[in-house]
């Protein structure tokens, strides 16, 4: 069973076999015709700025993909926000990278979508604990991709154990409903006590309190059962039973406080989106977010040759010529031909990534997170400011 889940192995990606068939036919044709032109190709989502920013990530995997290939690659830094124009540029003989286009775009498109959605969740509750709970919605072989994107966007942690081992960060989480079912209705106190006895001291004591009875009753029972050991309660009320979720949380807070349990935090999960998190952020202490991140649309990147043998070229609807992207003083993006004078107030965003097949950039996730959050502020990233001050 060398490949029991039929996933595409890393060697196939690195060797260019993780490709669309037409690139193999292109190679055969060009080799047959004795052609291998020197090209410049650019990865772009929108040709012109749209006013809407996304988070750029996946660049570390792209660097690995191009290592040892005889090309130069420039790219935005990991975690940078972008709006229009090229995010990555490749220069070299076309046959040095033709088949890599499929994997290159995949490395960027889905992780950038995850990170953009995670940033939306982050900014919906900037002061709260926000955790990534969505690894269960994706193929397990890309769980690290989800959790890394969540961390890059500033989330406080994630739930996936194997991803944690790869990323060097311990996964978080306490108990599912399955644990409560195994003890049964009426035995919730027994379940929470057993949990308290069984798990390590470093695990927060957060009791799941929506399984059998109402959230208030189970929260008070958890507080009575674990006393000062209880760190928090998690409310994962099913949407059909949710009613006014904000009111339920305030009611639980009130009743806990009334009995002296002011230190018990309230965490929420279950189908949360930025627009449902925002009205809860002043009454709940933390949120678990899954499907909003994992269900994010991939960023629609494409790779286009823009110069061939030193001459600008493009298909209809695309912009020819080697370009640069600038961040302007007002937080916007400016796209211009690379051989023109730089705008006086523009910060050049594309940076060298690979030179003649050698990776010349280092990647620190913490740096990318800092960049992402600072850049989100610089460009005013918030897709839902309308109700932010409720
Ligand atoms: C939480 C919630 C979702 C999970 C997290 C991901 O699970 O019910 O299924 O969040 P999402 O809805 O934002 O994608 P648990 O309450 O632990 O699930 P279970 O009912 O399996 O115990």
Classify residue 278 by burial, with Cβ atoms within 10 Å: 0-12, 13-18, 19+.
Answer: middle
By most ligand atoms within 8 Å of CB, the mutation choice from 147, 271, 286, 292 for ligand 1 is 271
By most ligand atoms within 8 Å of CB, the mutation choice from 155, 182, 288 for ligand 1 is 288
Nearest atom of ligand 1 to the alpha carbon of 292? 13
Q: What is the pLDDT of residue 344?
A: 85
Containing H/E element for 117? helix 101-124
Give the CA angle between residues 375, 55, 59 to the nearest 5°. Answer: 110
Whether the CB of 288 sits within 6 Å of ligand 1: yes
Could you give the domains of the chain? 10-113+297-386 (3.20.140.10), 127-294 (3.20.20.70)
Distance in Å, CA 21 to ligand 1 centroid: 39
Distance in Å, CA 136 to ligand 1 centroid: 9
Nearest atom of ligand 1 to the alpha carbon of 236? 16
Mean pLDDT value of segment 14-26: 98
By most ligand atoms within 8 Å of CB, the mutation choice from 270, 273, 275 for ligand 1 is 270
Whether the CB of 271 sits within 6 Å of ligand 1: yes
**What distance in Å separates the CA atoms of residue 300 and residue 244, rounded to the nearest whole number?**
37
Distances 128 to 46, 267, 268, 349 between C-alpha atoms, Å: 33, 10, 11, 31
Q: How confident is the model at residue 14 (pLDDT cuts 50, 70, 90)?
A: very high
Q: What is the pLDDT of residue 384?
A: 59
Whether the CB of 176 sits within 6 Å of ligand 1: yes
- Range name among 2-11, 182-191, 377-386 with the lowest pLDDT average: 377-386
- Its sign, for the CA torsion 14, 20, 21, 25, is negative
Per-residue model confidence as pLDDT tens digits over 206-225 = 999 999 999 999 999 999 99
Distance in Å, CA 6 to ligand 1 centroid: 27
Whether the CB of 289 sits within 6 Å of ligand 1: yes
Whether the CB of 182 sits within 6 Å of ligand 1: no
Q: What is the pLDDT of residue 386?
A: 42
* Helix, strand, coil percentages in the chain from 3-state DSSP, rounded to 5: 40, 20, 40
Per-residue model confidence as pLDDT tens digits over 283-306 = 999 999 999 999 999 999 999 999
Name beta bridge partners: 207: 233
């Amino acid at each position: 069973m060398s490949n029991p889940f039929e996933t595409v192995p890393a060697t196939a990606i690195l060797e260019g076999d993780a490709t669309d068939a037409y690139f193999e036919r292109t190679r055969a044709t060009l080799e047959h015709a004795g052609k291998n032109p020197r090209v410049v190709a650019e990865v772009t989502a929108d040709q012109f700025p749209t006013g809407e920013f996304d988070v750029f990530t996946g660049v570390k995997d792209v660097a690995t993909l191009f290592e040892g290939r005889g090309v130069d690659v420039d790219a935005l830094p990991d975690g940078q926000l972008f709006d229009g124009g090229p995010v990555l540029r490749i220069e070299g003989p076309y046959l040095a990278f033709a088949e890599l286009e499929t994997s290159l775009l995949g490395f960027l498109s889905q992780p950038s979508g995850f990170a953009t959605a995670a940033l939306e969740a982050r900014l919906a509750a900037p002061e709260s604990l926000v955790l990534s709970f969505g690894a269960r919605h994706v193929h397990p072989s890309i769980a690290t991709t989800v959790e890394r994107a969540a961390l890059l966007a500033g989330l406080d942690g994630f739930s996936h154990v194997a991803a944690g081992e790869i990323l060097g960060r311990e996964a978080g989480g306490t108990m599912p409903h399955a644990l409560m079912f195994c003890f049964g209705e009426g035995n919730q106190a027994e379940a929470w006590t057993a949990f308290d006895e069984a798990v390590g001291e470093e695990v927060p004591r957060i009791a799941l309190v929506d399984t059998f009875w109402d959230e208030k009753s189970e929260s008070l029972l958890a507080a009575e059962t674990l006393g000062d050991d209880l760190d928090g309660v998690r409310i994962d009320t099913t949407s059909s039973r949710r009613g006014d979720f904000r009111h339920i949380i305030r009611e639980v807070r009130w009743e806990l406080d009334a009995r002296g349990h002011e230190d018990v935090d309230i965490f929420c999960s279950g189908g949360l989106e930025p627009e449902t998190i925002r009205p809860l952020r002043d009454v709940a202490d933390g949120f678990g977010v899954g499907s909003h991140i994992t269900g994010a649309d991939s960023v629609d990147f494409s790779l286009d040759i823009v110069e061939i043998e030193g001459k600008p070229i493009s298909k209809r609807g695309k912009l020819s010529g080697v370009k640069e992207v600038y961040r302007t003083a007002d937080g916007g993006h400016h796209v211009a031909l690379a051989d023109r004078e730089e705008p006086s107030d523009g910060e050049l965003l594309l940076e060298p990534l690979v030179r003649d097949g050698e990776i010349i950039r280092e990647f620190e996730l913490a740096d990318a997170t800092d960049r992402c959050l600072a850049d989100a502020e610089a460009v005013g990233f918030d897709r839902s400011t309308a109700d932010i001050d409720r």
